[in-house]
Chains A and B, each alone.
Chain A
């Protein structure tokens, strides 16, 4: 098995075997981060650029740590400090970066399809670190790694994804990944946050939290971002919290050993109450640890040896 692709644009492109390969590799990479010297020489002399047009300390840091633990040189470019603010187009930015001969470019952008533009334009490997509401493949991979570690496999698990599905790239990537891996995915949120025809992606749709999380093996809560709601889709955070937060009452509807996940950053008291976020079911911090391993695995699998 080989990951014979130049880029990682989305989970939609991956086969089940490829997902397994990435997760297997990531599992092996986890150990490196526990060593005294947390670094292997594999990507020595390689240059990894993180090109972030959207603020994200967490994802950028995770990629940077992953690259550094593989001995790659990392350059971080964020929209606030780059030429982007001077009105340069994405394509010009990309061509400029290409002229500096990097090996891998990791891009996050508020526009869906931004990573596809780079992919078509550049010879370098492109990793999508989130494009608009489209995909966030490394988040889904780290989520799948976490579930697989805890439950052995995803086949047959009932997994509820709750929140603003319409604006969530995390939800989309996870829907692609989890359904490919044989999980039974339920999505849930207020009706205006459930995009049209999403049932055709192989998920069941619920509008009530209780229905979605009943007997769930995993509950994945999404970050509620009112600022993403153009035209006041939802009345208030208070109203949202009253109906769509995971709390100590409704969590009892899920399986006793339910895993509680969240891509972060958490809005405590909005989509999840503090006692659940910090409680025994929560694997939120393990997701973060696995994020580094998954990103190391991807950087490794996408490096060198092609053409």
Chain B
């Protein structure tokens, strides 16, 4: 029997994001040159919410973009099907930017490796930081997150899914056996 457990509800997610927004501002001393890039697909919603929060807190808009890292994946040609390619949207150079990349779950670290390689093709950022909602462990590369919503030690046979919606009140993070 599949066991399914909600590990974060809408309220917890909202509070985590608010905390992360403050942490980002604190670490980067404001919004100068601050850029938020969401990783498709899981990071898109989160990065958009973080951008909104930061803008609301500081009262100024910040630059943001979306990144599809598929073409940089180290397994892109070894899977049986070619993964679909979505649009990347970073309409400004990243030179001298403080880039915060946003994803939903940090797991092996391979996605973040790919994301960093991709971002380097858009210029030379001053620094890159990583914000994730869930850190579930099991890293395969020397990568760590700068901002974490919740650390959630997990088994390899468990699935963690972050389900965010436009309406927000049904947001949840669930863990289930795969």
Interface residues of A (CB under 8 A from B): 1-4, 21, 24-25, 27-29, 31-32, 35-37, 39-43, 46, 70, 297, 300-301, 303-306
CB-based nearest A residue for B114: A41
CB-based nearest B residue for A46: B77
B81 engages A40 (CB within 8 Å): no
Chain B at the A interface: SS class: loop
A-B contact pairs, 23 of them (CB 8 A): A1-B84, A2-B81, A4-B81, A24-B85, A28-B87, A29-B85, A31-B88, A32-B71, A36-B122, A36-B123, A37-B120, A37-B121, A37-B122, A40-B71, A40-B118, A41-B72, A42-B76, A42-B77, A297-B85, A300-B71, A303-B77, A305-B80, A306-B80
Asked if B23 is at the interface (CB within 8 A of a chain A CB), the reply is: no
CB-based nearest A residue for B121: A37
CA distance A1 to B84 in the complex (A): 8
Quote the shortest CB–CB distance from B124 to chain A (angstroms): 10
Assess A304 versus B121: contact at CB under 8 Å? Given A31-B87, A31-B89, A40-B72: no
A303 engages B122 (CB within 8 Å): no
Interface residues of B (CB under 8 A from A): 68, 71-72, 76-82, 84-89, 93, 117-118, 120-123
Contacts of B93 in A (CB 8 A): 36
Assess A35 versus B89: contact at CB under 8 Å? Given A42-B76, A300-B82: no
Quote the shortest CB–CB distance from B118 to chain A (angstroms): 8
Chain A at the B interface: SS class: loop
Q: Which of A24, A37, A40, A303 contacts B82 (CB 8 A)?
A: A303
CA distance A42 to B79 in the complex (A): 13
A3 engages B121 (CB within 8 Å): no
Contacts of B71 in A (CB 8 A): 32, 40-42, 70, 300
Quote the shortest CB–CB distance from A29 to chain B (angstroms): 7
- Shortest 3 CB-CB contacts between residues of A and residues of B: A304-B77, A37-B121, A40-B71
CA distance A36 to B84 in the complex (A): 23
Q: Which of B84, B86, B121 contacts A40 (CB 8 A)?
A: B121
Quote the shortest CB–CB distance from B122 to chain A (angstroms): 6
Contacts of B85 in A (CB 8 A): 24-25, 28-29, 297, 300
Q: Which of A1, A28, A37 contacts B86 (CB 8 A)?
A: A28
B68 engages A35 (CB within 8 Å): no
Contacts of A32 in B (CB 8 A): 71, 88
Quote the shortest CB–CB distance from A70 to chain B (angstroms): 8
Contacts of B77 in A (CB 8 A): 42-43, 46, 303-305
CB-based nearest B residue for A37: B121
B88 engages A28 (CB within 8 Å): yes
CA distance A300 to B70 in the complex (A): 11
A35 engages B121 (CB within 8 Å): yes
* Highest count of chain A CB atoms <10 Å: which of B76, B82, B86, B121: B82
A305 engages B78 (CB within 8 Å): yes
